[in-house]
């Protein structure tokens, strides 16, 4: 018999196999577990892939089977496994040697939170009550050393629980059907069981409903309008698995003549009432006796046990071209993976956010000038920000808070007296929470803006702003990241329409985006680079109604923009190739602002507020791509970001003291209906007592409030500065102090 098995094994390797690996499934490696588990009956991983659990199909610990734990130093990498020890195991003892999972145990399943573990027992006798599914509870997630028996099903091999479904009647004969694998829906309401009958024609998959989620002792009923006759796909099943979304199902054939993994697509999640047979893949060249099946969290790895009594028994690892798929032309959309979707959405949001920030910098400049048009010094920035980003840090030597004429000659002094330089440093923190298809995105944007402008003869103003930004977005919790650098040039102007109260603001700009994309799936990094070009503009009409010291400012605004992100291709397992992408920006805004002048003889004080409604008219962009390893299908996913209705509120105060002492405070809340909100706080204090010494203090943040204090002294052409930074929400945790000596040549 042993010789025959070896001959057959060689035969299957040399003979062309109809369901070959093709390019969709690649064997990677295996690990031996026979010392700890004997014959494996099932395999499961914790979500981060650092623990592997293997079920012993036969008695291994006294009168009972057990589940053993293996640790992995690299997620889902079998080459890094090590046995956790006998103390980190679960003895499958229900407390009754008659009904407990003694032998012939198949299948291993954990609840999503890791607090429940399930195993099934196939026939051990002719008793109808021999086919059972058991539940064990854990006191800590995925800590099987804390397992204890909770409950079990009634015997499943009865006419009431076998006959009447789409799978056909049960097998006749003294042994009837017996369990060879199972799975449970994510909500715990559905139980799926695969049976091996008396003959090869009696293999069936049945679907059951539980009266109470995850409670196997509750009433259980056969779903008669469901079930699959799987005799054509597997004659000797030893394993079943459903995808996390319940739309795909796999079976494993233990029969020496096929050794296939078969894939089904369910038209309705967690329902076998309607399905499509995608096909089968033979794994005979690597696994002579497959048993049990599971996947990594993101579906790019498949794991199958091997219980060959003549060889090494253990777990085998396979790489897949695309998640949860083994058949050419059946790769799923990236929208089935929340981190994948979050990365695609983050690129769209980056394009829109960059346009919005660049536009706002120019508009804020115009608003400041208009509120303080009676002042000679119209430069409102007197803050130096220290950035960790190397590009932004290199720009700190450029002039901040400068109020200088372009030329010092008398001739040019007269013609260019209204030219002013200005600069702005900004820090923005944001968060977009989980959606039904996308992971949480944490956003950190740092930027420096430099500009100059000039008053026109018609009492207007025009100028240019140059923005350098660093945008960092963390997606999910596995390490996926979008790291971008942005460059924008913006032209802005304002001019009176009819009189000095009605103004038209015009903004036009171009920009460039350079992004490094890192997507982490199952512990592996998929990387890419992407660039893009932008063009955008804004028209804003505003009026002023002044009575005494109150100024009411209604305004209407239209924003438009177009971003072209170029094509890119990832590198790594499961990589995708993305085509060029068009992202449009269309916003309609209506706002009402109020400015109150509270000035006195000693200082100028103006408090202001704004309420703005924003309709984001274009929130979708098509994300078109193929998988690098399977280009037979092109996906074109319409992704939606943001919200149609948005409400922005702002309150602030301007204080200008004699001798160049000033304070500016702005608090803003942006609320996107149905999506979430962001808070922004900006506080700046500046003091310039004489030309060679400057003091600056700033307070910025939305989630954390960061204070920055700077003292700078000009000593014989050298700038000596002292800087102190602190996180006011976590005093003592984040604190930085440093001294700089700079010389600008």
Quick one: pLDDT at residue 309?
A: 65
Q: What would the pLDDT profile of 82-112 be if each residue is shown by its tens digit? A: 999 999 999 887 655 445 565 678 899 999 9
Token pair listed for 406 = 């372009």
pLDDT digits (tens, 9 = 90+) for 431-458: 777 677 888 888 888 888 888 888 887 7
Q: What are phi and psi of 216, to 5 degrees?
A: -70, -20
pLDDT given at position 588? 96
Q: What is the pLDDT of residues 270-287, one digit of tens each?
A: 999 999 999 999 999 998
Query: What is the C-alpha separation between 491 and 451, in angstroms, rounded?
Result: 10
What confidence score (pLDDT) does residue 399 get? 39
The residue assigned the tokens 């956010």 is 353
Tokens describing residue 98? 């008659």
Q: Work out the angle at residue 653's Cα, subtended by the Cα atoms of residues 652 and 659, and round it to the nearest 5 degrees.
A: 150
- Segment holding 676, helix H or strand E: strand 676-690
Q: DSSP states of 390-449 as a string?
A: HHHHTTTTS-SS----S--SHHHHHHTTTEEEEEEEEEEEEEE---SS---EEEEEEEEE
Phi, psi (rounded to 5 degrees) for 692: -110, 5
Beta strands in 147-259 (DSSP E): 148-152, 178-184, 190-196, 204-210, 220-222, 228-229, 237-242, 248-253
Residue 503 main-chain phi, psi, to 5 deg: -130, 150
Tokens 């962009």 sit on residue:
621
Tokens of 432: 């977009």
CB 467 within 8 A of CB 449: yes
Alpha-carbon distance of 532 to 580, in angstroms, equals 9
Q: What's the sign of the alpha-carbon dihedral 521, 73, 30, 115?
A: negative
- 539 or 60, which is more confident? 539
Helix, coil or strand: residue 111? coil
Residue with the larger pLDDT of the pair 510 and 670: 510
Q: Give me Rg for the CA atoms of the chain.
A: 34
Q: Is the pLDDT of residue 407 over 90?
A: no
- Listed range (28-37, 79-88, 252-261, 709-718) with the worst mean pLDDT: 709-718
pLDDT band at 303 (very low <50, low <70, confident <90, very high): very high
What is the structure's pLDDT at 197?
A: 76
Q: What is the pLDDT of residue 18?
A: 34
Kind and range of the H or E run holding 356: helix 338-371
State the average pLDDT for the chain: 81
pLDDT at residue 702 tops 50: no
pLDDT digits (tens, 9 = 90+) for 579-621: 999 999 999 999 999 999 888 877 788 899 999 999 999 989 9
Distances (CA, A) of 210 to 55, 114, 159, 216, 602: 24, 20, 18, 7, 78
Residue 106's nearest CA partner among 137, 142, 75, 130 is 130
Distance CA 403, CA 426 (A): 20
Least confident stretch, 160-169, 561-570, 629-638, 691-700: 691-700
The DSSP secondary-structure symbol of 478 reads T
What tens digit of pLDDT does each residue of 117-149 get? Answer: 999 988 765 555 678 899 999 999 999 999 999
Cα(468)–Cα(448) distance, integer angstroms: 5
DSSP classification of residue 336: G
And the tokens for 39? 């014959």
Q: Is there a contact between 180 and 241 (Cβ–Cβ < 8 Å)? A: no
pLDDT grade for 459, boundaries at 50, 70 and 90: confident
pLDDT tens-digit series, residues 191-215: 999 998 766 667 899 999 999 999 9
Q: Is 494 helix (H, G, I), strand (E, B) or coil?
A: strand
Between 722 and 248, residue with greater pLDDT: 248
Q: Please count the CA atoms within 13 angstroms of the CA of 176 that sit on its side-chain side.
A: 22
Cα-based torsion angle of the residue sequence 381, 386, 389, 393 in order, rounded to the nearest 10 degrees: 80
- Structure tokens that stand for 315 in this block: 């777990």
Instruction: Give the whole-angstrom CA distance, residue 389 versus residue 400.
Output: 18
Q: Specify the pTM.
A: 0.81
- Of 65 and 709, more confident: 65
Q: Are 55 and 119 in contact (CB under 8 A)?
A: yes
Confidence label for 731 from pLDDT (cuts 50, 70 and 90): very low
**Per-residue confidence band for 58, with pLDDT thresholds at 50, 70 and 90:** confident
Q: Is the pLDDT of residue 411 over 90?
A: no
Closest CA to 33 of 297, 260, 292: 292
CA distances from 498 to 25, 174, 542, 558 (A): 71, 98, 11, 20
Asked if 226 contacts 207 with a C-beta cutoff of 8 angstroms, the reply is yes
pLDDT at 63: 67
Return the bridge partners of 503, or none: 496, 542
Furthest CA-CA distance within the chain: 112
Quick check: 719 pLDDT over 80? Answer: no
pLDDT in tens, 327-378: 999 999 999 999 999 999 999 999 999 999 899 888 888 887 777 665 544 4
The pLDDT of residue 718 is: 61
Give the model confidence (pLDDT) of 13-57 as tens digits: 333 333 335 579 999 999 988 777 778 889 999 999 999 999 987
CB of 437 closer than 8 Å to CB of 356: no
Rounded Cα distance between 109 and 319, Å, is: 21
Residue 127: predicted pLDDT: 57
Rounded Cα distance, 145 and 226, in Å: 37
Count of alpha carbons within 13 angstroms of residue 267, beta-carbon side = 6
Residues 544-577: pLDDT tens digits?
888 888 999 999 999 999 999 999 999 998 999 9
What is the predicted pLDDT for the residue at 168?
87
CA 53 to each of CA 118, 252, 317, 609: distance values in angstroms, whole numbers, following the listed order:
12, 19, 14, 60
Determine the straight-line distance between the first and last CA of the chain, rounded to whole angstroms: 88
């Amino acid at each position: 018999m042993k010789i025959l098995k070896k001959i057959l094994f060689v035969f299957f390797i040399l003979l062309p196999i109809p369901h070959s690996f093709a390019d969709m499934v690649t064997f990677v490696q295996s690990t031996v577990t026979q010392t700890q588990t004997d014959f494996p009956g099932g395999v499961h991983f914790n979500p981060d892939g650092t623990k592997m659990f293997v079920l012993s199909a036969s008695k291994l610990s006294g009168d009972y089977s057990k589940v053993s734990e293996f640790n992995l130093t690299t997620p889902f990498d079998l080459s890094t496994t090590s046995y956790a020890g006998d103390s980190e195991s679960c003895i499958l003892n229900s407390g009754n040697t008659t009904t407990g999972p003694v032998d012939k145990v198949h299948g291993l399943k954990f609840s999503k939170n890791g607090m429940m573990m399930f195993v099934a027992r196939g026939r051990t006798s002719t008793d109808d009550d021999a086919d059972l599914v058991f539940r064990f509870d854990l006191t800590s997630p995925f800590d099987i050393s804390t397992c204890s028996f909770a409950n079990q099903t009634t015997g499943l091999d009865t006419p009431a629980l076998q006959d009447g479904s789409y799978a056909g009647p049960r097998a006749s004969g003294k042994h009837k059907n017996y369990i060879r694998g199972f799975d449970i829906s994510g909500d715990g309401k559905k139980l799926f069981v695969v049976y091996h009958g008396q003959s090869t024609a009696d293999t069936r998959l049945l679907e059951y409903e539980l009266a109470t989620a995850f409670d196997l002792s509750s009433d259980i009923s056969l779903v008669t309008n469901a079930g699959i006759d799987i005799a054509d796909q597997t004659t000797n099943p030893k394993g079943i698995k459903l995808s996390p979304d319940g739309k795909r199902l796999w079976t494993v054939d233990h029969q020496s003549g096929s050794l296939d993994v078969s894939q089904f697509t369910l038209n309705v999640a967690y329902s076998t009432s309607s399905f499509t047979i995608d096909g089968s893949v033979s794994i005979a060249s690597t696994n002579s006796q497959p048993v049990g099946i599971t996947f990594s969290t993101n579906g790019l790895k498949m794991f199958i046990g091997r219980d060959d009594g003549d060889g090494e028994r253990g777990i085998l690892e396979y790489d897949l071209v695309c998640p949860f798929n083994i058949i050419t032309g059946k790769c799923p959309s990236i929208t089935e993976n929340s981190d994948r979707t979050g990365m695609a959405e983050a690129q769209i949001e980056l394009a829109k956010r960059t346009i919005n920030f660049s536009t706002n910098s120019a508009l804020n400049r115009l608003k400041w000038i208009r509120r303080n048009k009676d002042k000679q010094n119209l430069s409102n920035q007197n803050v130096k920000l220290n950035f960790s980003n190397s590009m932004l840090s290199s720009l700190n030597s450029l002039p901040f808070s400068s109020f200088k004429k372009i030329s010092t000659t008398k001739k040019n002094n007269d013609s260019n007296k209204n030219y002013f330089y200005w600069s702005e440093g900004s820090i923005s923190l944001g968060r977009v929470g989980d959606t039904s298809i996308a992971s949480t995105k944490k956003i950190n944007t740092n930027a420096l803006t430099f500009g100059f402008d000039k008053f026109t003869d018609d009492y207007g103003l025009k100028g240019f702003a140059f923005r350098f930004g660093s945008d960092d977005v963390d997606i999910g919790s596995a390490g996926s990241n979008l790291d971008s650098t942005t460059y924008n040039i913006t032209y802005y102007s304002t001019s009176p329409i009819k009189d000095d109260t009605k103004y038209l603001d015009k903004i036009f700009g171009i920009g460039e985006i350079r992004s490094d994309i890192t997507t982490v799936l199952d512990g592996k990094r998929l990387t890419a680079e992407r660039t893009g070009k932008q063009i955008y503009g804004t028209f804003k009409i505003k009026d002023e109604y002044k009575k005494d010291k109150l100024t009411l400012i209604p305004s209407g605004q239209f924003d438009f923009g177009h971003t072209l992100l170029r094509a890119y291709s990832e590198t790594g397992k499961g990589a995708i190739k993305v085509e060029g992408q068009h992202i449009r920006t269309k916003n309609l805004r209506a706002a009402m602002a109020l400015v109150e002048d509270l000035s006195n003889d000693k200082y100028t004080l103006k408090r202001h507020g704004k309420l703005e409604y924003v309709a984001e008219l274009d929130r979708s962009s098509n994300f078109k791509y193929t998988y690098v390893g399977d280009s037979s299908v092109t996906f074109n996913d319409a992704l939606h970001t943001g919200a149609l209705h948005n409400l922005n509120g702002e309150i602030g105060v301007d204080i200008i003291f004699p001798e160049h002492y000033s304070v500016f405070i702005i608090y803003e809340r942006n609320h996107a209906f149905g999506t979430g909100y962001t808070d922004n706080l900006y506080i700046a204090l500046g003091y310039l007592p004489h030309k060679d010494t400057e003091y600056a203090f700033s307070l910025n943040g939305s989630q954390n409030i960061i204070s920055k204090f700077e003292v700078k002294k000009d000593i014989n052409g050298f700038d000596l500065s002292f800087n102190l930074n602190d996180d006011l929400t976590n005093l003592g945790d984040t604190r930085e102090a440093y001294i700089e000596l700079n010389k600008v040549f």
